[in-house]
Amino acid sequence: NPTANIAGIWSGYTGLGHKTVLPSVAQAKMDFRLVPNQDPVKLAGKLRQHLVRHGFGDVEVNLQAENPAARTPIDAPIAKIAARAGREVFRKEPVTLVTSAASGPMHYFTNTLVLPTVAIGCNHAKSNTHAPNENQRIDVFVQGSKWIARVIEEFAKQA
């Protein structure tokens, strides 16, 4: 499902100490997780229309970055290769997710170049990915690197 997230809100004096002032501006930073066929530019326009419709026509909407959704079918050859290579390297069944909570420029491959993609996580269960105290274990990083190398090697054989 698509999501809308308020990543941060700030207004008024935010420095050290106290100031008794009425804020003249307020800002919010949002991000949206899109699904296939959602256009980020159109979505920003819809947000703007929603704000106007509800009496907030003075609110500016600035689109800072856009990453359309990207998806490769779970039964695509690259997905099967990635799962098989993961089994070889880790000697256990990999966890396969159809959708990732992360975002990135994968749409350039899937939508523009029409190439299949997979995302391979090289982190351990307690790595706190994209959170405070994010960490990595060297042994897991090395195994993840071997996994990626196996995927590239096996996929190249199919080309």
CATH of residue 149's domain is 1.10.150.900
Predicted TM-score (pTM) of this structure: 0.71
The domain of 20 spans: 3-53
Q: Is residue 68 part of a domain?
A: no
Residues 41 and 83 in one domain: no
83 vs 81: CA distance, rounded Å: 5
Distances (CA, A) of 43 to 4, 82, 109, 143, 155: 11, 33, 22, 39, 35
Q: Is the Cβ–Cβ distance between 145 and 153 less than 8 Å?
A: no
For the chain, the domain total comes to 2
pLDDT band for position 88 (50/70/90)? very high
Q: Is residue 69 part of a domain?
A: no
Rg (alpha carbons) of the chain, rounded to whole number: 21
pLDDT digits (tens, 9 = 90+) for 13-64: 888 998 888 999 999 999 998 888 889 999 999 999 999 999 999 999 999 9
Q: Is the Cβ–Cβ distance between 33 and 3 less than 8 Å?
A: yes
